[in-house]
Amino acid sequence: MTDAGRDGKPDAETPGTVEGRGSDVIARIHRAIRQRILSGDLPPGTHLAAAEIAGEFRVSRTPAREALLLLASQGFVDVIPNRGAYVRNWSREDIEEVFDLRALLEPHAAARAASRASAQDVAELEALASEMETASRSRSASDRDRLAVLNDRFHRRIASIAGGPRLERFINDTYELVLQAWTFGTFSDEDMARSMMHHRDLISAFRTGDAALAHAVMESHILNARRRYVDRPEAGIDFAED
């Protein structure tokens, strides 16, 4: 079972020094650095020195280095031999590719999920959709953040229900970026209503096991998001024009 755990918030402030052996140091560093890259805290081109990271997380250079290697294998940083890791530049083409891949992968996942979703799965998705609708009626920053988290969980849950480990991994790898690009900040009321309706349509398709419908709804859902993004790219990541 995949980590159905908490939201993507890294427990940045762990009071005291819980030098817990056995706590997965590599994974923690990996998540923290990835979060900083996605949030723009570490701008593209930044040199990530192993010693620096090690010092900050109070560990040695070995786990820091291994976390960097993992980030490299996922495409977040480029590792140049004997020179270290550099935060990768996300170009406009990168973002567009991500949307293309989402438009390819997620409808496929939705169709599979429609064929496999249990009543329990549908109930979970409905709970998420209800929460999102509640949050969507507010414009407070915290509710918008919560909406992004819930939306993330909703889509990941569908990928999980689809039941293919590689498909799920691809979607999750692809999805990271979207979280940053798509902050719900630019949604009009109409956009928001349509997005919420898409979720309900998806759930409906899941309940009746209608794979073709789920596929179509998800595709339109993604393509809408893509269009919204392409129309106003300045709202997302500031691109490095190099």
The rounded distance, in Å, linking the Cα atoms of 161 and 122 is 10
Considering the rule CB under 8 A, would residue 160 count as an interface residue with a second copy? no
Tell me the site size for DNA, rule CB under 7 A. 28
Binding mask 83-122 for DNA (x = CB under 7 A): xxx-------------------------------------
Least separation in angstroms between CB 84 and DNA? 3
d(CA 101, CA 92): 14
Whole-number Å distance between alpha carbons of 200 and 157: 15
Among 32, 59, 101, 196, binds a second copy (CB under 8 A): 101
CB of 13 to a second copy, least distance (A): 9
Select the binding partner of residue 38 from a second copy, DNA, none (C-beta < 5 to 8 A, by kind).
Answer: none
Q: What amino acid is encoded at 26 in this protein?
A: I
Q: Does 77 bind a second copy (CB under 8 A)?
A: yes
Helix (H, G, I), strand (E, B) or coil at 80: strand
Q: Are strands 77-80 and 47-48 parallel, antiparallel or unpaired?
A: unpaired
Q: What share of the chain is helix, strand, coil (3-state, %, to 5)?
A: 65, 5, 30
Is residue 69 near a second copy by the rule CB under 8 A?
Answer: yes
59 touches DNA by CB under 7 A:
yes
Residue 54 binding DNA, by CB under 7 A: yes
Under the criterion CB under 8 A, does residue 232 sit at the interface with a second copy?
no
Give the Cβ contact number of residue 221 at 10 Å.
Answer: 23
The DSSP 8-state label assigned to residue 79 in this structure reads E
Among 5, 15, 16, 81, binds DNA (CB under 7 A): 81
